Amino acid sequence: MTRIPNPGFGTFRLEGDVLKNAVKSALAAGYRHIDTAQMYGNETEVGEAIRESGIPRDEIFLTTKVWHDRLRPGDLEASVDESLDRLGTESVDLLLIHWPSPDGEVQMDDYLNALAAVQDAGKAKHIGISNFTRAQVDQAIDILGEGALLTNQIEVHPFLQNRALVEHCQSRGLEVTAYMPLAVGKVMKDATLERIAQAHDANPAQIALAWIKARGLVTIPSSTKAEHIRSNLAAFEIALSDDEMAQIAELDRGERIADPDFAPEWD
């Protein structure tokens, strides 16, 4: 059982009224976890959409992230205050380090201790990391201690199953939040997922999401269409057979989509 509402609604690349309508559609459909980040440039609209939705703030699990150019102690705390101001809230439910500091420019113990200080100040209920490798996960836990970090948010979809990192995080007590679960739409064109979807009167996107849930992962699919937002939520009612899970396991081809030049050396 995850401690993070699952699924969440992702907001990467969404902005303006399109974003606000999508967030309100997600909340109306029953999502209670909204994921944003400083880098997305949409925290203000996310906050407005939450307020306009009529759903009480304390019923929503809200995540944001600190970008890698704001990791220096002092600057990290200032950036969090800016995020809270844009979101129009006194605290977030989950605050993540979006990427480890490129080339270790800022020492991990410096920015993780600053992150913990933000939590101690009541500005984040939970803290976590994103895009950390196995070695970086171990280093982070060594710094803050067992149980301090809630999740590592990483790219996971049928074509990048990231099994070694997923299993390592789970063995260390971290939940895994899977981003880009639909591989930016590529799952819709896969013959195996299409065949499994037909057997469940579903679509390939729903099968990809059901597969992620079956692995015990949280995920944050994104869409601008109310129909797809509802469909993604309904995917969590689909139970895949062991044979279907094995078929999907064969789709892993190490196809990484999020791989910027400042990324760590991946596992």
Name the binding residues for substrate: 98
Are 39 and 13 contacting, i.e. CB atoms less than 8 angstroms apart?
A: no
Counting Cβ atoms within 10 Å, is residue 189 exposed (0-12), middle (13-18) or buried (19+)?
exposed
The owner of tokens 């791989």 is 259
Active site residue 40: yes
Asked if 192 contacts 248 with a C-beta cutoff of 8 angstroms, the reply is yes
The closest alpha carbon to 108, from 82, 132, 80, belongs to: 132
How far is Cα 96 from Cα 111, in angstroms, rounded to an integer?
A: 11
**φ and ψ at residue 131, rounded to 5 degrees:** 65, 30
Determine the Cα–Cα distance for residues 205 and 102; give it in Å rounded to an integer.
33
Q: Which of 31, 40, 111, 179 is catalytic?
A: 40
Catalytic site residues?
40
